[in-house]
Structure 1
Amino acid sequence: MIDLDETDRKLLRALSEDATQSAGALGRRLGLSQPAAWRRVRRLEEAGAIAGRRVVLDKEALGFGVTVFLGVKLATKGRVSLDDFERAVGAIPEVQTVQHVLGLFDYRLRVVARDFADFERVLRRRIMTLPGVGDVDANVLLSEERRPGPLG
């Protein structure tokens, strides 16, 4: 675990809001010089506090109006079954996240689709045919709001 001071926390909050900000913009925002802001970002990256930067796509603007969370219980257990399932589900582009979880289900999937007919096609033809799939439970996303991360 990295030791963070208040400036590091402010820097991480600023980057979590907009990861495209330059070191100069971050420095102006936090009262640092551009080189000082750059050094801090670099140190946080090297320490693993910043694991990467990404673009957040607007799924609706791209034509994906339905998001469904699926709980998947495997019919068979074992390391080979888990590996086979993870490899196969990872090849489905509509599956945005694959989470191996503890509880009622073995996996939680976030699936996007153009509409409910498209989701049904993905479920029937792609997900239900995966190796080892047993029970599946679906929860349709109605709304979502981004909450502040662990740094507030």
Structure 2
Amino acid sequence: MTLDDLDKQILQAMQRNADQSTTQLAAKLGMSQPATWRRIRRLQEAGIIVGRRLELDAEKVGFGVTVFLGVKLATKGRVSLEAFERAIGAIPEVQTVDHVLGLYDYRLRVVARDLADFERVLRRRIMTMPGVGDVEANVLLSEERRPGPI
């Protein structure tokens, strides 16, 4: 599917505020509501818009620590990668799992109530997983920029 300028404007506006109605979005873009709705529907059917999500302030809901973990697997292969991804996906404190190229095989974003809680997750859940080798932790001090529109 080729995106035209109106498609791109719709996507940018929706990335800034996915809660707005199609009527509000149409008014901002100078379009009719039905035309806007049809374009959004087409973008969804093409798989360009894959969902909408609610973003919470982790600290305000009791998760005051965010840690980025670099995880290097001790053994590599398709089976070990898939087993790790399946097992790590079952840990609710692990917010994102990125398979990366470089020193580590995976980059994880882990939230915890405090450092003691993070240590518990690391020692009891992550380090006990089969195949986990080296791990490097980086504690988030502040987030200067949130992911924004593409």
Relative to the length of structure 1, the TM-score reads: 0.93
Residue 98 of structure 1 aligns with which residue?
Answer: 97
CA RMSD of aligned residues (A): 1.1
* Aligned counterparts of 2:127 and 2:147: Cα–Cα separation in 1: 32
SS in 2 for 1:93: coil
SS in 2 for 1:137: strand
Alignment identity in percent?
Answer: 71
SS in 1 for 2:67: strand
* Aligned counterparts of 2:86 and 2:100: Cα–Cα separation in 1: 16
Distance 1:147 1:76, change over 3 A: closer
SS in 2 for 1:12: helix
* Aligned counterparts of 2:46 and 2:147: Cα–Cα separation in 1: 25
Matched, 1:87 2:92: no
Residue 109 of structure 1 aligns with which residue?
Answer: 108
Residue 149 of structure 1 aligns with which residue?
Answer: 149
Size of the aligned set, in residue pairs, is 149
Residue by residue over 1:41-98, the C-alpha shift from the partner in whole angstroms, topping out at 9 and shown as x without a partner, is 0111111221111111111111001110100001111122112111111110000011
Matched, 1:6 2:11: no
- Structure 1 stretches of 4+ moved >2 Å: 147-150
Gaps spanning 5+ residues in structure 2: where? none
Residue 130 of structure 1 aligns with which residue?
Answer: 129
* Aligned counterparts of 2:147 and 2:83: Cα–Cα separation in 1: 34
* Aligned counterparts of 2:63 and 2:148: Cα–Cα separation in 1: 25
* 1:149, distance to aligned residue in structure 2 (A): 2.6
Relative to the length of structure 2, the TM-score reads: 0.94
Residue by residue over 1:92-116, the C-alpha shift from the partner in whole angstroms, topping out at 9 and shown as x without a partner, is 0000011111110111111000111
* Aligned counterparts of 1:149 and 1:91: Cα–Cα separation in 2: 29
Residue 36 of structure 1 aligns with which residue?
Answer: 35
